[in-house]
Each structure stands twice: as C-alpha cells, then as structure tokens.
Amino acid sequence: MTFSKGRRRSAVAVALVVAAGGLASVPASAQAQPSAPAPVVETFGKPGLTEFAVPAGVDQLTVEAIGAGGGGGGGGRASDEVGARGGSGGGGGARVRCQLPVSPGQMFNVVVGKGGAGGKPDLLYGPEQIWERATPGAPGSMGTGLMAQQGYYSPINFSTGVVVSGGIGGDYALDHRTVLGSGGGFLVGAGNAGGSKWKCAVEKKELRPLGAWAGSNGGEGHDGSLNYGGVGGSGGVPGDFWSDTLPRGCPFQTVGRGAGGGTGAAPGATSAGWGGKGGDGCVAITYMPVP
C-alpha cells in the first residue's frame, strides 16, 4: 500500500506523540471532581432518653420532632335495647422542624415520647357484677425532641434544643355519648389542647422554626344500634402528615398517630372494647459530615 507525502507526515507525527507518552493531558477543569458528602440522618424512634454527641466539624443540626399520639378512649356500656357508643380516638402528635446552631462535641439528650395507653372499657366486675366506668385514653408523653444536657431540666424546661408535644387521649363513651378527641400540640402551661405548641431555642432565646404543625383531632365514637355496639372513633395523625415528607426512619404506619377508640358494648354484653395505644414519637437529626 502506498501513501502520499501528506499522509506519511501525519503518520509520523502520531507515532512521535505516542512515543512521547501518549495523548496530551486532560485539562484540570475537565477531570472528575470529588462529590460532595451526602447529609447524614440519624433517627430515634424508641421511647426513652438517648445521648447524642455533635460530630467533629459539625456546627448546625436540622432537627425534626414528632410528638407521640394519644390513646383511644374505652367503649361504653349498652342498655338492654341499644348498643353503646364507641370511645373517641386520641389526637395526633404535633410536629416541628428547626435548624439549631451547635458546637462539635456538644452533648444532647434525645427524648422520644411514648404513645398514650388505651382507655379501659365499661365492664362488669367481680361476683356482684358491678359495672366499672370506662376511662379515657392516656395522652402521648409530654415532650419529644432534642435538648442540650447543659441547662436541661425536663422536656418542657430547657435552655437549648427543640421539643414538641404529644396528642391528648380520646374520651371514653359516657351514657351513649363521647367528646371529640383532642388534637396534638399541647404543652403543659402553654396553649390549648388543639394548638400547635412547640419550643425551639438556643440559650433560652427562641428560634423561628422551618415548620410547625398541630396534630389532628381524633374522631368521635359512633352510635350503637339495636344489635351492635358503636365503632370507636378514628385516631388523629401527626402534623403535616399527608405531605409525604416524614423523616426517613420514622415508621409511617405508627409514628405520632392517635389510637382509635374502643367499640361500644352490644345489648346484653358484659364488656365493651379497649381503646388502642397511641403511636410513639420520633426524632430525626440531619447534618453535613466533614469531607
């Protein structure tokens, strides 16, 4: 095969480049850059207190807290002719999201509230067959959140941190009637049962949250009929629940949910249904790790 002079010169030039070390180096701007570290999310969903130390190099936390749900109220006693009404549902826990300035190594207490116990139903008790009155569901634990150990006294009395409250328990069925279950967002000494109370502070100075929402009310128990007791009211859900933005790791099916009320007794029955237990709270802490 023969080559023209021009093609012969090009071939020689390519051979010289290869002999000198291959293709020219890629500019630095075109080289692959190291990717930024992904945010770290630590989730706490077991009721109780856990210590948390701020990692090295971290100076800001995004904290999201969801309060525990209230327990459902116990079902009521039936008459001889008509089934009793069901207990009302417990309220959903309130929810708050805050950014908190911190120092590396700073120690915090993570407090996760426990869902409220279900209310006892009306029932016949003892050899004398005495009716015992039903009871309301217990409220979700008072405070769920993250509190600095220095200046920490209780989940509602601290200087630095984030806290939110649980829902109120549903009422029991009384004389074929119940009261609507109260919503979340209640802090002792502040606000009312249906409010959206929260606290986010640094050295007692309150911070504006990224978001704060009240839990929804529990549903009212349903009337009984000639043959059956009424169904208990549905439990409320935590604040902003349907936005599909629950923190990763907080159990969607239970977190912060109020429990349903107990079923009312049917005519002639000796016991009604217990109220359900409210869902536990949850705390999610997000931060950017040091590369």
Mean pLDDT across the chain = 78
Residues 112 and 47: beta-carbon distance below 8 Å: yes
- Which of 98-112, 143-157, 197-211, 263-277 has the highest mean predicted lDDT (pLDDT)? 98-112
- Which residues fall within 8 angstroms of residue 229, CB to CB, at 6 or more apart? 75, 76, 78, 83, 84, 85, 86, 263, 264, 265, 266, 269, 272, 273
- The count of domains in the chain is 1
Assigned domain for 125 exists:
yes
- Expressed as residue numbers, the domain containing 282 is 40-291
- Predicted local distance difference test score (pLDDT) of residue 196: 53
* Cα 137 versus chain centre, distance: 19
Assigned domain for 7 exists:
no
Assigned domain for 58 exists:
yes
- Predicted local distance difference test score (pLDDT) of residue 19: 46
- Predicted local distance difference test score (pLDDT) of residue 31: 60
Assigned domain for 164 exists:
yes
Assigned domain for 146 exists:
yes
Structure tokens at 30: 């075109």
Assigned domain for 259 exists:
yes
- Which residues fall within 8 angstroms of residue 248, CB to CB, at 6 or more apart? 41, 43, 284
247-271: pLDDT as tens digits: 777 887 788 888 888 888 888 787 8
Assigned domain for 18 exists:
no
- Predicted local distance difference test score (pLDDT) of residue 287: 94
The residue ranking higher by pLDDT, 172 or 205, is 205
Handedness of CA 13, 19, 25, 31 (dihedral sign): positive
Distance CA 280, CA 241 (A): 15
19-57: pLDDT as tens digits: 445 444 555 555 666 677 888 999 999 999 999 999 999
Cβ burial of 157 (10 Å; 0-12, 13-18, 19+) is middle
The residue ranking higher by pLDDT, 92 or 172, is 92
- Predicted local distance difference test score (pLDDT) of residue 109: 93
- Predicted local distance difference test score (pLDDT) of residue 7: 46
- Predicted local distance difference test score (pLDDT) of residue 183: 39
- Predicted local distance difference test score (pLDDT) of residue 182: 43
Cβ burial of 100 (10 Å; 0-12, 13-18, 19+) is buried
Neighbour-count burial for 106-140, b at 16+ CB within 10 Å, e otherwise: bebbbbbbbbbbbbbbbbeeeeeeeeeebbbbbbb
- Predicted local distance difference test score (pLDDT) of residue 197: 66
Judge whether residue 190 has pLDDT over 50: no
Structure tokens at 216: 């929804």
Residues 196 and 213: beta-carbon distance below 8 Å: yes
- Predicted local distance difference test score (pLDDT) of residue 232: 87
Query: What does pTM read for this prediction?
Result: 0.78
> Minimal CA–CA distance to 188: which of 159, 166, 212, 213?
166
Assigned domain for 64 exists:
yes
The residue ranking higher by pLDDT, 240 or 101, is 101
